[in-house]
Each structure stands twice: as C-alpha cells, then as structure tokens.
Amino acid sequence: MFETGEMERVLDGFPRRLAGFVCAGCGDVRFVPCGNCSGSRKLFDEDEGVLKRCLECNENGLIRCSDCCS
C-alpha cells in the first residue's frame, strides 16, 4: 500500500504528528508511572490494614500517557 500511494489516501484526514516531535510527558514511551500508586502497584487500605493491588495501572505499574495517547 505504501509503495503505490494507497496508504496516503487511506490516512488522509487523520491528524499527523510533526517530524521530530517528542512527547514532553513520556519521552515518546507512551506510558508513565501510575499517579495513584507511584508505580509500585500497591496501595495500603487503611480500613482493612492491608496492601491491595492498584486497579488504575497495568502489571508494570504504568498508565498510558495522557499527553500523547488518547
């Protein structure tokens, strides 16, 4: 598709990033440490007095960058 020029027609109308653009929030990694647990994946439940797994982030303690990923 790219070689024949079809790709450009298919993607016409979609937003494009500027060449050389690097996200200031994540450095183009697309993920940042979770703001809820600071990337530890654990939260202390004061009511029960135990550690629980954070439900906001993935298995690595990361969330998608809100600056460059929607």
What digits encode the pLDDT tens for the residues 2-14? 788 888 888 888 8
Across 13-17, 28-32, 33-37, 39-43, least confident range: 13-17
Domain span at residue 53 reads: 22-70
- Both tokens assigned to 56: 């906001």
- Is a pLDDT exceeding 80 seen at residue 68? yes
Look at residue 10 and tell me if it is in a domain.
Answer: no
- Both tokens assigned to 55: 């439900």
Rounded-to-integer distance, Cα 16 and Cα 20, Å? 12
Look at residue 42 and tell me if it is in a domain.
Answer: yes
The total of structural domains in the chain comes to: 1
Look at residue 50 and tell me if it is in a domain.
Answer: yes
Q: What is the mean pLDDT of residues 14-30?
A: 84
Rounded-to-integer distance, Cα 12 and Cα 2, Å? 13
- Is a pLDDT exceeding 80 seen at residue 52? yes
pLDDT at site 7: 86
**Number of C-beta neighbours around residue 61 at 10 A:** 18
Rg (CA), the chain: 19
Q: What is the mean pLDDT of residues 10-38?
A: 87
Look at residue 7 and tell me if it is in a domain.
Answer: no
